[in-house]
Chain A
Amino acid sequence: MSAITRAEVDHLAALARIAMSDDELDQLAGELDVIVGSVAKVSEVATDEIPATSHPLPMTNVFREDVVETPLTASEALSGAPAAEDGKFLVPQILGDEQ
């Protein structure tokens, strides 16, 4: 595996929405490289014919019936909000597009 570059770490930090200092980024570049290198060996044994396991126990079709339960009250919902206004969560200005 190729070394993880500083630019790549920068990009990952943006994807993960974590503000980091230059020192942190430098340190992480080195650490991630060691970790990624050491775990890359999984691909040695993970051959094509082996199926992937995403759930430890095989289960399917676990459903909930469409029955209303008592929701949180608006004040409970907002109880942990860093900022609120008019019964809504107040967030800083959003740039860019709505999803």
Chain B
Amino acid sequence: MSDVTRLSAAELAEQLGRGDVTSVEVTQAHLDRIAAVDPAIHAFLHVSSDEALATAADVDARRAAGEPLHALAGVPIAVKDVVVTKDIPTTAGSKILDGWIPPYDATLVTRLRQAGLPILGKTNMDEFAMGSSTEHSAYGPTRNPWDETRIPGGSGGGSAAAVAAFEAPLAIGTDTGGSIRQPAAVTGSVGVKPTYGGVSRYGLIAMASSLDQAGPVTRSVLDSALLHELIGGHDPRDSTSIPESLPELVAAARGGDVAGMRLGVVSQLSGDGYEPGVKARFDDALALLADAGAEIVEVSCPSFDYALDAYYLIMPSEASSNLARFDGMRFGARTLPDEGPVTAERVMAATRGAGFGPEVKRRIMLGTYALSAGYYDAYYGSAQKVRTLIQRDFAAAFDKVDVLVSPTSPTTAFELGAKLDDPMAMYLNDVATIPANLAGVPGISLPSGLSSDGLPAGFQILGPAKADDRLYRVGSVLERLLEQQWGGPLLAQAPTLEVA
């Protein structure tokens, strides 16, 4: 038997369907891989071997009995630890949730379970998804499979690294300002942030409610489409969930064609601050798409220059309120004050003081400030107006072009610790990904090749709201053209990891 961990989810699904392999075999192979490489990578915070194997065995039995199964039934998956899983510990990368075992499932987890995807475990992340490097996890950083001295991106560095290190064929990420796309870019994997409201947020531990979106992290565009169709679609438990059904995503990924499509290059997302190697891979990819018949158009979105600023007001404001419930009263850890009276108020403060890491505290404080009396209009109110301007820029751009394109991240993976003491430098990583979150539009990141430092760079495609199919249509074409050049997936070029 070939190494099943090297296969894409679509390939695994086919082999499972034909009976070439069983889900138990596939799941066990991934658990073995996790045991071998995760001590070095640290993509997982919790590995749920027993539950995963039980699901796999159940799927195998149902398949043997001739039951109709979902296309991805039996294909194992890793879930970012910010997504609530019944009976499986969920920490959101924070000490404050250490030991918490949720009594319910997120809607997307319910869908994974119903479709029979064994859940391998929960992946590492920046605490409460606050960060761009996964260094803000309370449980230690994840390392980039391309270079273990470097960050895997964030906040979903665990999901991206798990996929890139062949520990899981599929993973779930969440993206508030780029936390799916930027890790995908710096690990050579594929990540999709769906249209806001396209995937239920019920059971996602919220950072910023109006920005958060869950989505797929995979090794191919088609795999993302398969997973996106499974987890997406209306959920009455999420009032911001889109009532219409999803567009045909898998069909778009399979039948990709860019002939006659207009691709807009956003001038604001390609200037200063973008590494030359990242720029070069982006330009090369663009040339391939042009050769395939796409028309390349320069577009200007002037309000994007304010996106980062608006984001760093809206996000912490909402987060300061969303994270208020972590107070040691109903769930999670409770810390008593070192001295003085043990009152509810002081225990809450002690619990939050001990339970939250520095980045979380920073954002809660910033958000508390931005919402407080006298500042609301200048900060939160103004940021919401910038949001309107950004939406208008997108609308004007999509009048002219079918999709917008840019490098996903200005740089390749930086070294662990390099930006830990400089929050603003860390925040700048998200400059190209944030506008999509503010406007609610969908975006995909797929590998554009290796930059001059030998590390992966990402190519971002943004589409209009509810037109997620366009990402798959363009993305699958670019992926095919690039893989023809590389002679296979980019991840095949990643260094072989030391096996423990």
**Could you tell me which A residues sit within 8 Å of B by CB distance?**
4, 8-9, 12-20, 24, 28, 31-32, 34-36, 38-47, 50-57, 59, 62, 64, 72, 76-77, 79-83, 89, 91-96
CA of A57 to CA of B244, assembled, Å: 13
User: For residue A94, which residues in chain B have a CB less than 8 angstroms away from its CB?
Assistant: 343-345
B262 CB within 8 Å of chain A: no
CA of A9 to CA of B101, assembled, Å: 34
Tally of contact residues, B, Cβ under 8 A: 73
B381, A19: Cβ atoms closer than 8 Å: no
CA of A52 to CA of B423, assembled, Å: 27
User: For residue B73, which residues in chain A have a CB less than 8 angstroms away from its CB?
Assistant: none
- Whether A51 contacts B309 in the complex (CB less than 8 A), given A19-B337, A95-B345, comes out as no
Max chain A CB contacts within 10 Å: which of B100, B362, B465? Answer: B362
- Residue on A nearest B327 in the bound complex, by CB: A17
B274 CB within 8 Å of chain A: no
- Residue on B nearest A45 in the bound complex, by CB: B306
B347, A92: Cβ atoms closer than 8 Å: yes
Pick the contact of A42 from B306, B349, B439 — CB < 8 Å? B306
CA of A59 to CA of B381, assembled, Å: 20
User: For residue A80, which residues in chain B have a CB less than 8 angstroms away from its CB?
Assistant: 100-103, 330-332
User: For residue B349, which residues in chain A have a CB less than 8 angstroms away from its CB?
Assistant: 14, 17-19
CA of A44 to CA of B310, assembled, Å: 11
Interface string of B183-219 (1 = CB under 8 A from A): 0000000000001110000000000001100000000
The smallest C-beta distance from B105 to any residue of chain A, in angstroms, reads 13
**Could you tell me which B residues sit within 8 Å of A by CB distance?**
100-104, 195-197, 210-211, 236, 239-240, 242, 303, 306, 309-310, 312-313, 320, 324, 327-334, 337, 341-350, 352-354, 356, 358, 361-362, 364-366, 368-369, 372, 378-379, 381-389, 391, 423-424, 437-440, 465
- Whether A42 contacts B382 in the complex (CB less than 8 A), given A18-B353, A93-B343, comes out as yes
CA of A45 to CA of B103, assembled, Å: 46
Max chain B CB contacts within 10 Å: which of A14, A36, A77? Answer: A36
- Residue on B nearest A94 in the bound complex, by CB: B344
User: For residue A81, which residues in chain B have a CB less than 8 angstroms away from its CB?
Assistant: 330-331
User: For residue B372, which residues in chain A have a CB less than 8 angstroms away from its CB?
Assistant: 12, 15
- Known pairs A56-B210, A96-B345. 6 more at Cβ < 8 A? A38-B312, A50-B388, A54-B210, A54-B384, A56-B211, A77-B103
Max chain B CB contacts within 10 Å: which of A47, A51, A52, A94? Answer: A52
- Whether A53 contacts B388 in the complex (CB less than 8 A), given A12-B372, A80-B100, A80-B103, comes out as yes
